[in-house]
Amino acid sequence: MPFPLSADRLAVYAPFQAILDAQPALERLDGDERLYLSLLQHLLESNVTAPESIVVALHQNAPHQALAVAHALCGAAGHIGLIDVHRITQDIVRSLRRNSTVDLDALYDLENALHDAETLTLALASILPPPPPSPPLPPLPDGAESVQKLLRALDDRNFASVDLYTHCRPFLAITYPEILPRLDLDMDLLNFKDAATLLAARIGKP
């Protein structure tokens, strides 16, 4: 299966290739750059205190907790392509498994790598193509005329009122929002008489 991003789009990531290997993750995401950026941001937000958490766990004589933090970050960083974060956390994991301790310089390096990655996400956000526009909202019904049809159906206690109300509700939400909660309740209870009275009092009969 060909890679879904063009060479021009891949070139966007070239300036960051020393700290970010984006292509494997983008391939798994079918080239969805916005989703990739979102996952990258989520990873960093979730691990911003990882170095501190490792230190706290070691001070509490809980190297297994420190290992769990480092191992989770290592796996996530490798999966998403954060080269420095992955390399540093690999070293931290090895140290914790071997000696149940970590060199403070490694934690300092990890803090810097996470900061660099955060700066990277800001740069990526500024150069990615804009998201596609939201689909247009469905058109409102033909306003007052449809509401008058609804009112006549309510007066007749006609069950067609239910479908008419669904059709008219977007228009009612804009033009008569103050009565909408009560109308919703009356229609849910099939209380056509009270709904007709409320609507007629607000808009008048034809």
pLDDT tens for the chain, 206 residues long, are 445 677 788 888 888 999 999 999 998 888 889 899 999 999 999 999 999 999 999 999 999 999 999 999 999 999 999 999 999 999 999 999 999 999 999 999 999 999 999 999 999 998 887 777 766 645 545 677 888 888 888 988 888 888 888 888 888 888 889 998 999 999 988 889 999 999 888 876 44
CA atoms within 13 A on the CB side of 166: 5
Prediction pTM value: 0.62
Give the end-to-end CA distance of the chain in Å, rounded to a whole number.
63
Asked if 183 contacts 172 with a C-beta cutoff of 8 angstroms, the reply is yes
Tokens linked to 194: 């009270």
Tokens linked to 143: 């306003």
